[in-house]
Amino acid sequence: MSVFLYMVEHDRGRIEETALGGLTGARLLAEAMGARLQAAVIGEGAEAVAGEIDPYGPEEIHLVRHPMLTDYGPDAWADSLVQLAASVDAAAVMADGTDRGNEVMAQLGARMDLAMVANCLEIEADGAGDGGDWLMTRVRWGGSLHERARLSAPTKLVTLAPHSTEAAPAPRPGGGRVSMFTPSLDESALTTMVLDRVTVSEGITLATAPVVVSGGRGVGSVEGFTILEELADLLGGAVGCSRVVTNNGWKNHKFQVGQTGTVVAPDLYIACGISGAIQHWVGMMNAKNVLAINIDPDAPMVTKADWAVIADLHEVVPAITAEVTRRRGLARETG
C-alpha cells in the first residue's frame, strides 16, 4: 500500500487555519486511492500540532526536528521533506496551496527534478495501480480559470487549494503513531533563515475573522470606513477592502481582499460599495454567506450574493449597527 505524505503548516505550534481542511482533503484522497496517509510536522512546536491533527486520521505523524528547523525556512523545510519522503517511500507529497506550502513544494520539485502541481481542487487517478497518472482540476489566475491537468511522475508533488475541503475528523479518529525524524541539514546550503520576528497585527486577523465588513470605492474616503469599523467591532469581525481603496490610499494593502490581497473564507462577508470584479471575488468566494450593500442592482457582487440591500451604504451600515445594538440590549434585558 503506497504512502501519501502531507506537510502540516504551522508556526511554532500554532496550526495554520487551512491545515485541518487540507489534511482532511489529503485523507479523503488517500482513502479514494487505497493509500495510507502520513503527516509531516516540521520544526518547533511539532508535538503540540501532533495532538491537534491526530483526530483527522493520519496513520503516522512524523515530528521533524533539527536545531536548524526552529523557524520556517523554505530550503531547510524542503530538504527535510525530501529526506522524509525518501525514508517512507512516499508515492505523493502534499501541502496546502498557501504561500509557504507552494514555496516548499516548488523547492521539493526542484530538488527531486519532478513537476509540482499547485492549487488542486479535485484529483483522481487515471486507472488503477500505483504510479499511474493523476488527473486534476486546479485553480489558475487567482480562481478565474479552472484548468484540467494530467500529472505523470513517479512521486506526485501537489498542493491543495486552500478551503477546498472542509475540515472533518476521521470516522475512526485518533491513534496515529508519532515518530521522530531528524534530517541531515547543511547550514552552508541554507540560503534563508529567520533572524527576527515582528508582530504587525494583534487580535483578529483578516484571514481568520468569522465576519469581514469590507469596503470598496463606494465608501468614498478614509473617514467613510469609520462606520464599517464600528460594525466589524460589534460583530467581532475584521475590516477588509477592495484594491481601489488601497490604490486610493484609504487603507493599507494588508486590508485588501482578492487575487493580489488576502484570501478570506468567513461565515459572513459584508461587501459595502464593492462591485465584485473577478479579482476581488476570488478572494472571498468561499465565504459561507455574502451580504452586498450597493446602489447598483446589477453589480456582480449583488447578483452573486446570498442577500443584497440596494441602497446607499452610508445609510444602511449605521442602520445595521443600530439594530444589532438594539437587539443585543433587548436580549440582555430579557435574558
Ligand X SMILES: Cc1cc2nc3c(=O)[nH]c(=O)nc-3n(C[C@H](O)[C@H](O)[C@H](O)COP(=O)(O)OP(=O)(O)OC[C@H]3O[C@@H](n4cnc5c(N)ncnc54)[C@H](O)[C@@H]3O)c2cc1C
Q: Which of 8, 118, 290, 293 binds ligand X (CB under 6 A)?
A: 293
What is the closest distance, in whole angstroms, from the C-beta atom of residue 257 to ligand X in the complex? 6
What is the closest distance, in whole angstroms, from the C-beta atom of residue 296 to ligand X in the complex? 4
Rounded Cα distance between 322 and 79, Å, is 55
For residue 330, count other CB atoms closer than 10 A to its CB: 10
The region of 91-99, 106-114, 268-276, 323-331 touching ligand X under the rule CB under 6 A is: 268-276
The region of 20-28, 31-39, 82-90, 292-300 touching ligand X under the rule CB under 6 A is: 292-300
What is the closest distance, in whole angstroms, from the C-beta atom of residue 278 to ligand X in the complex? 7
Write the interaction track for ligand X spanning residues 30-49; mark x where CB under 6 A is met and - where it is not: --------------------
Number of amino acids touching ligand X (CB under 6 A) = 27
Cβ atoms of 183 and 66 within 8 Å: the answer is yes
Q: Which of 107, 159, 164, 294 binds ligand X (CB under 6 A)?
A: 294
The region of 10-18, 87-95, 102-110, 309-317 touching ligand X under the rule CB under 6 A is: 309-317
Cα separations (Å) of 34 from 2, 129, 175?
A: 8, 9, 19
- Please give the helix or strand (H or E) that residue 143 lies within, else none: none
285 binds ligand X (CB under 6 A): no
Establish how many alpha carbons lie within 13 A of residue 76's alpha carbon, considering only the half-sphere containing its beta carbon: 22
Cβ atoms of 174 and 131 within 8 Å: the answer is no
What is the closest distance, in whole angstroms, from the C-beta atom of residue 313 to ligand X in the complex? 4
143 binds ligand X (CB under 6 A): no
Cα separations (Å) of 64 from 4, 44, 84, 90, 325?
A: 16, 9, 8, 16, 49
Rounded Cα distance between 60 and 37, Å, is 7
H helices of 89-191, in order, are 99-112
Write the interaction track for ligand X spanning residues 233-262; mark x where CB under 6 A is met and - where it is not: ---------xxx-----------xxxxxx-
183 binds ligand X (CB under 6 A): no
Write the interaction track for ligand X spanning residues 199-238; mark x where CB under 6 A is met and - where it is not: -----------------xxx--------------------
**Which residue, 153 or 161, has its beta carbon nearer to ligand X?**
161
Cα separations (Å) of 47 from 54, 76, 116, 176?
A: 11, 19, 28, 13
Which among 121, 123, 103 has a CA at the least distance from the CA of 162? 121
Residues that bind ligand X (CB under 6 A): 216-218, 242-244, 256-261, 273-275, 277, 279-280, 283, 293-296, 299, 312-314
